Amino acid sequence: MKESYEWIVTAESEADTVRLAEALAELAGPGTVLALDGDLGAGKTRFSKAFAAAIGVPGVVNSPTFTIIKEYQGTELPLYHMDVYRLSEQEADELGLDDYFFGEGVTIVEWASLIDALLPPDRLQLYIAHLGGEARRITLTGIGMPYAAWCRQLQARDGSK
């Protein structure tokens, strides 16, 4: 059975979400896959923008809702930002996503649960939920190595349970 670890973070403000994205960006390397889910407007794209900025992507990062995939070159790594909300699993499979997942950059997939069967077995899943106002509950589930270790490391650094 694949190792996994869950850590739940309460982000009281947008700044807390940005700090979490920055902390994850410090750990990211080629082939990193972040699978984002959450309510409409919960902050998936805001998280993605903060992560992109943290790996040195210049300029504006927008949701790829209609383009499906946007590629950016950061100073640290390329970023492949996907929004699969409008795709069937079969349509997504035809896009050759493995080239991104196992490529030289970091892949962020918004609405990732819609293509769960196509995602790599090792990944970091994030579920963002509104708590009211700016507050969010972010559930991070590290599946496989190194993602389970990332969750443990960040939780220890945060000092939360």
Residue 155 has pLDDT above 80, yes or no: yes
The pLDDT-based confidence of 160 (bands split at 50, 70, 90) is: low
Rounded Cα distance, 83 and 63, in Å: 7
Evaluated on CA atoms 92, 38, 15, 120, the torsion sign reads negative
Q: Where are the domains of the chain?
A: 4-158
Cis preceding-peptide flag for 146 (omega within 30 of 0): yes
**Is the pLDDT score of 161 beyond 60?**
no
Confidence of residue 6 (pLDDT cuts 50, 70, 90): very high
Residue range 92-148, pLDDT digits in tens: 888 889 999 999 999 999 999 999 999 999 999 999 999 988 899 999 999 998 999
The closest of 43, 39, 48, 72 to 58, measured between CA atoms, is 72
- Any idea what DSSP says for residue 28? -
Longest dimension (CA), the chain: 43
Question: SS3 for 146?
Answer: coil
pLDDT tens readout for residues 40-96: 888 898 999 999 999 999 988 887 776 789 999 999 899 999 999 988 888 888 888
> Can you name the CATH fold of 4-158?
Rossmann fold (3.40.50)
